[in-house]
């Protein structure tokens, strides 16, 4: 069974949140809602969200701040601002905060759905097209779950490939354990953390024939994939 696309809407007006939720669910999307900025950020961190819809004027933390925090974790996820603040300066602030689109209230449900579909289609295609990485002597094809060098070729599991892809996407930078667990496993807990450590050990074993490649454990923080010159 295919997993549904998961959309997070952060909106403090219950009537508007319900209207958008009903329209999206009618199109087959799974929708989770939050009514303030802090709750929205918590949900984003704890679930594999595919697209975020943000109101600007939110209790506790506004939509601009939430968008900036989301962008610090995931630079690719589509973000749509849905708001009554529709002056040019407001739109500029939204795009500068990391938004991909800006829909003014009142809005047409059909138009909103078209914009959501377009963003999801574009994001999916981009991720599929950009799925080959050079890691030292290895070539990693995450779409076909294949890791190969001149001496060997290995078919990986989906979860192995997901972990390695996150490391490749952030080469030479720390990938936080919390981010890996929530994005790949869907939940940051002790047992999933142990599983992640097992997968990191496996990846080190797969890549060990190239001594230039290193997956470093930053204690209590996360991991860094690097290739020494």
Contact 180, 166 (CB under 8 A): yes
Residue 169 lies in a domain: yes
Question: Is the model more confident about 82 or about 209?
Answer: 209
Are 157 and 52 within one domain?
A: no
Residues 124 and 13 in one domain: yes
Instruction: Name the nearest CA neighbour of 17 among 9, 25, 5.
Output: 9
At residue 92, the pLDDT reads 77
109 & 16 share domain: yes
**pLDDT grade for 214, boundaries at 50, 70 and 90:** very high
Q: What is the pLDDT of residue 223?
A: 97
pLDDT for the residue 222? 96
CA 192/CA 90 separation, integer angstroms:
41
Domain termination residue (choose one: 93, 128, 163): 128
* pTM for this entry: 0.55
Confidence at residue 212, expressed as pLDDT on a 0 to 100 scale = 94
Q: Is residue 212 part of a domain?
A: yes
Mark whether 104 and 137 lie in a shared domain: no
* Rounded-to-integer distance, Cα 33 and Cα 54, Å: 10
pLDDT in tens, 150-185: 889 999 988 899 999 999 989 999 999 999 998 888
Tell whether 149 and 202 lie within a shared domain.
Answer: yes
Q: Which of 106, 128, 150 is the last residue of a domain?
A: 128
Residue 97 CA to residue 41 CA, distance in Å, equals 15
Same domain, yes or no, for 63 and 103? yes
Q: Categorize the per-residue pLDDT at 135 as very low, low, confident or very high, splitting at 50, 70 and 90.
A: very high
Instruction: Check whether residue 94 and residue 139 sit in a common domain.
Output: no
Could you tell me if residue 40 is inside a domain? Answer: yes
Which residues constitute the domain of residue 58?
6-128
71-97: pLDDT as tens digits: 887 777 888 988 776 666 767 777 888
d(CA 29, CA 22) in angstroms, rounded, equals 10
Average pLDDT of the residues in 119-133: 71
Alpha-carbon span 58 to 108, nearest angstrom: 21
Number of domains in the chain: 2
CATH of the domain at 123: 3.40.50.2300
Mean pLDDT of 36-60: 88
CATH of the domain at 161: 1.10.10.10
Peptide bond into 44 cis (omega under 30): no
Q: How far is CA 67 from the centre of its chain?
A: 12
- Are 155 and 216 part of one and the same domain? yes
**Domain boundary at 69, 101, 128, which?**
128
Confidence of residue 144 (pLDDT cuts 50, 70, 90): confident
Residue 1 lies in a domain: no
Mean pLDDT on 40-61: 87
Note whether 51 and 145 are same-domain residues.
no
Better-scored residue on pLDDT, 78 or 143: 78
């Amino acid at each position: 069974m295919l997993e549904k696309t998961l959309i997070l809407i952060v909106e403090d007006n219950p009537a508007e949140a319900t209207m958008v939720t009903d329209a999206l669910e009618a199109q087959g999307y799974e929708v989770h809602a939050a009514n303030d900025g802090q709750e929205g950020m918590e949900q984003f961190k704890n679930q594999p969200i595919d697209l975020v819809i943000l109101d600007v004027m939110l209790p506790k933390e506004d939509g601009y701040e939430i968008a900036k925090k989301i962008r610090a974790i995931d630079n690719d996820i589509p973000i749509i601002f849905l708001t009554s603040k529709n002056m040019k300066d407001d739109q500029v602030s939204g795009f500068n905060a990391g938004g991909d689109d800006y829909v003014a209230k009142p809005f047409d449900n059909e138009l909103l759905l078209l914009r959501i579909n377009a963003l999801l289609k574009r994001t999916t295609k981009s991720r599929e097209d950009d799925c080959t990485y050079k890691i030292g002597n290895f070539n990693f094809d995450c779409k076909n779950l294949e890791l190969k060098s001149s001496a060997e070729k290995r078919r990986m599991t989906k979860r192995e490939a997901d972990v390695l892809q996150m490391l490749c996407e952030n080469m030479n930078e720390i990938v936080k354990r919390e981010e890996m667990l929530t994005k790949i496993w869907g939940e940051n807990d002790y047992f999933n953390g142990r599983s992640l450590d097992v997968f990191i050990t496996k990846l080190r074993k797969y890549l060990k024939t190239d001594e230039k490649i290193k997956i470093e454990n930053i204690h209590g923080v996360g991991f860094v994939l690097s290739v020494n010159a």
